[in-house]
Amino acid sequence: MLTTFFFLAIMLVGVPIGACLCLAGIFFIFQSGDTVLFQSFPTQMFGGVDSYSLIAIPLFILIGEIMNGGGITKRLVDLSLAFIGSVKGGLAYVNILANMLVSSIIGSATAQVAIMSQIMVPEMEKQGYDKTFAAGLTVYGGMLGPIIPPSVMFVVYSVLAQVAVGDMLIAGIIPGVILTILFFIVIACMGFIYDYPRTAKRTIKERLHTIVTACPTLLIPIVIVGSILGGFANPTEAAAVGAVAAILVGRYVTKEFHYRMIPQILLKSAIYSAVVLFLVAAAAVFSWLLIYGKVPQASAAWIQTVAKDPVTFLLLTNVILLVIGTVIDGIPGLIMTVPILLPIATDIYGIDPRHFGVVVVINLVLGLMTPPVGLSFFVASAVTGAKPGKMFIVTLPFFIICCVALVLLSLFPSLSLALLK
C-alpha cells in the first residue's frame, strides 16, 4: 500500500512514468527489507529489452518520420479525397479515411494527431466546418494509429504477453476497419443534423490523375501489412523493408524527401525510441516485483468475486482501463496493467491473450480522448488552437460509438481473431 502511495505521489508531481516505475520498485525493495533483490534489478531491466521483436519499434517510428518529411501524408489525403467524391460532409469522411491510410504507416496516436491536424483542420475550416469539430474529428481519426498495423502499442503488448508480434498486428485489422465504418455512420447521421458542406465536384479525369499520382504511396502499407499477412516476413523485417520503401517513395515519387534530412530524422526517431524502450525496461522490473509481491494473485481473488464469466470480466476490464487511460498515456498504461490483468484473463477466464490485447489497447487509446487528461485533445489543441473541453463535447457521439465497439469486441472475440490461423 505504501508503495502505491509513493508511486502516485511522485507521478502527480511530474516525475516521468518510466522513472516512477523504477523508483517505486526501489521503494518496494527497501520496504520489504529484502535488499538482495537489488542484485537482480539491472538484469531484469536488461532482460525486458533483450528481445528481437522490439527492434520493430524504432523501425516503425522511423517510417513515420520519413513519411512526414517526404510529403507522403498529403498524397494519402488527396487519394482519400479522390475516392470519397462530392458528398455531404465529404471532408469529414476524407479525414477518417486518410487517418486510416496514414495509420497503416505511423502506428502512434499522438504523432498521427499532430501530423493530421496540421493538414486536415485548416482545409476543413476553409470549407466551412467548425474548427473545434474538425480538430476533435482528427483526434478520433488518430485513434486508428495504434490499432491498424503497424502499431507500437501492439509490439509492446506482444513482448509483455509473450505472444507473436505478427499475430497482434493482424488482430488489429478488423477492429480498425469496424471503427472506421462506425465513424462513417456517425458522420452521416451528424451530417443530416448539422448540414455539413459538400466537397467540391471534381471531374473523373481529375480524380483519376490524383489516384494515379498518389497510388505509389500505398506501396508502404502494402509492403508492411502484405508481407506480414502473407508470411513473407516477420514484423521487424517488414518494418525494415517499409522504411526503405518510404525513402524511395519520398525521394522519387513525391520528390519531397532529401538525403540531407536523414540525420535529423534518425535523431528524432532515436529519441522517441529510447523513451519507449526505457518504459519497456522499467516495465520488466515492475512486473517482476508485482509477481514477487503476489499482486496478480490478490487482484485475481477480488475480481473473481465480481466477475463470474469471461464476458463480465472483459466488461469490467473495459471500465478499469478506460479510467486508467484518462490519466495515463497508452504505453505506460499498458505496462502497468497487463502484468496484473493478463494472467487473470488467460489462466482463470480462458481468454485468448491476442483478443485480450486488442481490448486492452483500444481501451487505453480511447483514454487518450477522454477527460480529464485526454492527451490527444491537448496535442490537437496545441496545433490548431481549439479548446480541448469543447472538442470532447462536440465529438461525444464518436466517444459513444467507440464504447459500443468495445462492448461488441468483448462479446465477439472472432472480431479480432478472424484473420488469425
Given the C-alpha cell 485533445, which residue does it identify? Answer: 377
Q: What is the pLDDT of residues 252-273, one digit of tens each?
A: 888 888 888 889 888 988 887 8
Residue 357 has pLDDT above 90, yes or no: yes
- H or E element that contains 163: none
**Alpha carbon of 247 to those of 150, 215, 343: distances in Å?**
17, 16, 41
CA distance 366 to 371: 10
pLDDT at 385: 84
Q: What is the pLDDT of residues 147-166, one digit of tens each?
A: 887 777 888 898 888 888 88
25 and 129 together in one domain: no
pLDDT band at 210 (very low <50, low <70, confident <90, very high): confident
In the chain, the number of structural domains is 2
268 in Cβ contact with 65 (< 8 Å) = yes
Question: What range defines the domain where residue 31 resides?
Answer: 1-39
pLDDT at 408: 92
Average pLDDT over residues 79-86: 73
The alpha-helical segments, DSSP class H, found in 293-395 are 295-306, 310-327, 330-343, 353-367, 375-384, 388-394
Average pLDDT over residues 388-398: 87
15 and 47 together in one domain: no
Residue 235 carries which side chain, given as an amino acid letter? P
pLDDT at 421: 64
Residue 412 carries which side chain, given as an amino acid letter? F
pLDDT at 1: 64
18 and 47 together in one domain: no
pLDDT band at 356 (very low <50, low <70, confident <90, very high): very high
84 and 103 together in one domain: yes
- pTM higher than 0.85 for the full model? no
260 and 346 together in one domain: yes
Residue 331 carries which side chain, given as an amino acid letter? I
Cell readout for 225 is: 501489412
27 and 144 together in one domain: no
CA distance 417 to 421: 8
31 and 53 together in one domain: no
Closest CA to 23 of 1, 6, 36: 6
> Residues 388-397, buried b or exposed e (16+ Cβ, 10 A)?
bebbbebbeb
Q: Is 15 left (phi over 0), alpha (psi -120 to 50) or beta?
A: beta
Q: What is the pLDDT of residues 275-318, one digit of tens each?
A: 778 877 887 787 777 777 777 667 777 787 888 888 899 988 88
Q: What is the pLDDT of residues 14-63, one digit of tens each?
A: 777 778 878 888 888 888 887 778 888 888 888 877 777 777 778 877 88
240 and 280 together in one domain: yes
34 and 44 together in one domain: no
Q: Which residues pair with 198 in a beta bridge?
A: 88
Average pLDDT over residues 308-333: 81
178 and 258 together in one domain: yes
Q: What is the pLDDT of residues 100-132, one digit of tens each?
A: 877 766 666 767 787 788 778 888 888 888 889
105 in Cβ contact with 150 (< 8 Å) = yes
Closest CA to 235 of 58, 109, 102: 58
26 and 53 together in one domain: no
* Residue 40, number of CB atoms within 10 A of its CB: 14
* Residue 12, number of CB atoms within 10 A of its CB: 10
CA angle 200-206-211, nearest 5°?
Answer: 105
Cell readout for 279 is: 518504459
Residue 378 has pLDDT above 70, yes or no: yes
102 in Cβ contact with 116 (< 8 Å) = yes
Q: Is the peptide bond before 339 cis (omega within 30 degrees of 0)?
A: no
pLDDT at 50: 77
CA angle 289-286-327, nearest 5°?
Answer: 135
154 in Cβ contact with 416 (< 8 Å) = no
Cell readout for 6 is: 509513493
CA distance 111 to 329: 13
DSSP 348: I
367 and 388 together in one domain: yes
406 in Cβ contact with 361 (< 8 Å) = no
Angle, helix 396-411 to helix 310-327, in steps of 10 degrees: 150
Q: Is the peptide bond before 150 cis (omega within 30 degrees of 0)?
A: yes
Cell readout for 127 is: 470549407
pLDDT at 119: 79
Q: What is the pLDDT of residues 213-245, one digit of tens each?
A: 777 877 887 888 788 777 788 778 888 888 888
**Residues near 405 by Cβ (< 8 Å), separated by ≥ 6?**
175, 178, 179, 182, 362
Query: Is residue 73 packed enough to be buried (19+ CB in 10 Å), middle (13-18) or exposed (0-12)?
Result: buried
Higher local confidence (pLDDT), 209 or 315: 315
Q: How far apart are the first and last CA of the chain?
A: 43
Given the C-alpha cell 499482486, which residue does it identify? Answer: 295
